[in-house]
Amino acid sequence: MLKELHTVEKPKESKVEDIAIIGLACKFAEAQDKDQFWQVLREGKDCIRKLPKSRKENVDEYLKFSGLTLDDVIIREGGYLEEIDKFDYAFFKISPKEASLMDPNQRLFLETAWRTIEDAGYAPSKLAGTNTGVFVGYSHDFGDSYKKLIHKYAPESLSMATLGNINSVITGRISYLLDLRGPSMLVDTACSSSLLAVHLAAESIKNGDCEMAIAGGVKLWLIPVEPKDAGEFGGEAGPGIGIESKDGRARTFDDNTTGTGFGEGVGAVLLKPLKKAIEDGDRIYAVIKGSATNHDGKSIGISAPNVEAQEAVIQKAWKRAGINPETISYIEAHGTGTKLGDPLEIYALQNSFAKHTKKKHFCAVGSAKSNVGHLDNAAGIVGLIKVILALKNREIPASLHFKKPNKEIDFLNSSVYVNDELRPWLVEKEPRRAGVSSFGLSGTNVHLVLEEVFGETLSEDSKVNENIVKTQFDRKKCWVKPSRNKVMINSDNDDLVKNILSLINDRNSGLKKVTNLVIKEEGSGLSATERKVAAIWAEILGMEEISIYDNFYDLGGDSIIALSIASIISKEFNIELSLDQIFRSPTIFETSKQIDSSGTNKITFKKISRRRES
């Protein structure tokens, strides 16, 4: 009996489980999806370019509103997305007005998370109630926030814009929309944010906090202009922090490098335990064998890299992966193209390999920053997706702009070499393995070890993909517009109420027609109250067509929007409307009935006394 009790009480050793990558989606410069991104990489395409024409409308509007011209500003070349101002708000049950006030970073990652789940062969609705986590690397430290643009254009809308511009809501909205019950968190460690998000997601799965996880990052330059008088590499709104390449291109490991370029994009992966993924018949892109993170501690400067720390995080990841470092044949480097960072990174890699082998030139290195620029907090997810696609296609893409090795780097006696052309990814016996590094300006470092999978994946045309009809992204322009009234500096909710009332009221008729508003029941004997309430809802929600039977929640309503509606109705009808009443009577029809019967004792409305008004 004692022996049996001892056996029961003895703690089981936890096995470090491999993590499968079963879905991915991305959008980078000149690449709308993962297939186009692979073509960019395979063809060795330089995606650094001038601002696309499709983006100029928003910039021109900004300059005009600010009293500036193109002659007053600098717009650098960069890895720009084709468009950042469109969104399918109806699909996600968000009102047009709220969508136009949401940070485009939030909208873009929401779409990408949805596509990632579909790419894995799952209907997003099937994840409802599951213990799925969401981890996103994001910050707007090096560019203007959308909230600042709203404050400039339409300060009276700031209260309604609150949720759409809180950074943590990027993950929270996804978890809410899909009813995901796992951890949901934003990660901000500067350049290493998104790869750290993947590491945290993998660790969360291993320790049982979630069964699956969405992880990635997003980075946009909303209005990429900076004043000329701020200098070539500075400016309040521009991406300059002093390490920028003169022509916007990262010449990683090259002797003629002048710094890093910048880019935009979004990427996400769906993670799951490898064993479970195999059992469920999931398609597996690659496997995360191990990962690690640490901090530089005290170095020569708070923003300067620490070779010892980089070496330590690589060694730790290798140990956790349980692999022989000689079997790693590619490293996707952080590779910013800076004079200080590049030599130190190669030195750390060389030191790490030297502890295990004396072999030379067996591991290729490269950086996607040479293709699409440095995506700051989303840089890590770009490198990770590049490696995933390279493993899947068994080819190593070229690292661009490498003509003459950096004289500060001893490549001759190194374990690594710069891969400057497209090569077949050849190995002898072991599966293909690779590392991905991401080192943050904050001092936080991350390294992942990836491996291909043999004989356990499903083919591209397997049944796992036939079950899903992928969503087609009816995207309409959603961008804050300058207020119809002149900018009010100290705007509050009272300003919003006054502005809306001025739009819907007319002294003679009692109702001013809202532009383009169609009330579906117009020919069915609508009451004056229903018309007025419909106009209020339509203006607040940004609707051009509305039904008096539409549900407030289905139109994208939330507590902040309800508060605005309640305030306006209270003032317009001289009643006090509780927020709870909006939620319990969530249609124009029901709300109008309550307003018309506001003199009875059956409702929670209260007449506003003259004393209270004063």
User: Catalytic positions, please?
Assistant: 191, 334, 374
Closest CA to 108 of 46, 174, 52, 64: 174
Closest CA to 518 of 553, 548, 477: 548
Two tokens at 294?
Answer: 């640490």
- 3-state secondary structure labels for all residues of 149-185: HHHHHCHHHCCCCCHHHCCCHHHHHHHHHHCCCCCEE
- Judge whether 328 and 436 are in contact, CB under 8 Å: no
Closest CA to 426 of 362, 365, 383: 362
Rounded-to-integer distance, Cα 148 and Cα 155, Å: 9
Give the alpha-carbon dihedral of 514, 519, 523, 524, to 10 degrees.
Answer: -130
Pairing status of strand 444-451 against strand 363-366: unpaired
* Whole-Å CA distances, 66 to 221, 309, 488, 606: 18, 45, 15, 45
Residue found by looking up tokens 């130190």 in the block:
344
Q: How many CA atoms lie within 13 A of 21 on its CB side?
A: 29
- Phi, psi angle pair for 135, to nearest 5°: -135, 120
- Phi, psi angle pair for 565, to nearest 5°: -65, -45
Which stretches of 52-168 are DSSP H helices? 53-66, 96-101, 104-119, 146-153
Positive or negative, the CA dihedral 347, 352, 355, 356 is negative
Rounded-to-integer distance, Cα 132 and Cα 123, Å: 14
What is the C-alpha end-to-end distance of the chain, expressed in Å? 81
* Whole-Å CA distances, 69 to 64, 238, 263: 7, 16, 24
Residue found by looking up tokens 């590094």 in the block:
437
Q: Which residues does residue 49 pair with via DSSP β-bridges, in sequence order?
A: 78
Burial class (CB in 10 A: 0-12, 13-18, 19+), 8: exposed
- Helices 528-541 and 493-504 sit at what angle, rounded to 10 degrees? 130
Continuous segment of H or E residues that includes residue 562: helix 559-573
Pairing status of strand 606-607 against strand 575-576: antiparallel
Rounded-to-integer distance, Cα 73 and Cα 226, Å: 5
DSSP state of 32: S
* Whole-Å CA distances, 329 to 54, 286, 417: 40, 15, 10
